Amino acid sequence: MNRNDIKKLIQDNIRVNLSGLDLRRLDLSRLNLRKSDLSNAYLEGVDFSNSDLSEAFLDSVNLIGANLSNTKLKESIITNSDLSGADLTGANLIGADLTGSFFIGAKFTGADLSGAFFTGANMSNADLEEADLSGSDLMGADLSGSYLVGANLTGANLNSTNFTGANLTDIIK
């Protein structure tokens, strides 16, 4: 499956089913994949920059090192997935469910994560500079060693969140 095949699927369907496919390192930037099913897909190194994945289903996916910068992921479900080293700079994850996922060393600079669910997520060593985490649920999340300078944590659920070694300079709470 290549970019042109996926573009054809998008034209033919309202909701694209790419579940279980090996799409690693494909350029899927600037595509409308809203409400798509990418569960169990192998997406390591995929470029989704500037794409719309709002309300998409991405359970148990491998997005290690993926480029999700400026991607719309509003209300998407990205549970039990690995996004370690992924670039989510400027991404919109408002209301997304990221429960139990791994974001080790991921970059969320300037991302809108308001109202998102990170329950039990591993975000150790992540870059969350200027990220908006207002109203998000970080219960039991691991943010050890993370960089949260200027992050907005207003109204966030921080019960049992691990901030060991995290840089919390100028956070808004």
pLDDT tens for 131-167 read 999 999 999 999 999 999 999 999 999 999 999 999 9
Per-residue three-class SS string for the chain: CCHHHHHHHHHHCCCCECCCCECCCCECCCCECCCCECCCCECCCCECCCCECCCCECCCCECCCCECCCCECCCCECCCCECCCCECCCCECCCCECCCCECCCCECCCCECCCCECCCCECCCCECCCCECCCCECCCCECCCCECCCCECCCCECCCCECCCCECCCCEC
Q: What is the CATH number of domain 1-173?
A: 2.160.20.80
> What pLDDT sits at residue 64?
98
Q: pLDDT band for position 99 (50/70/90)? A: very high
The pTM (predicted TM-score) of the whole model is: 0.96
Q: What residue spans define the domains of the chain?
A: 1-173
pLDDT in tens, 3-44: 999 998 888 766 899 999 999 999 999 999 999 999 999 999
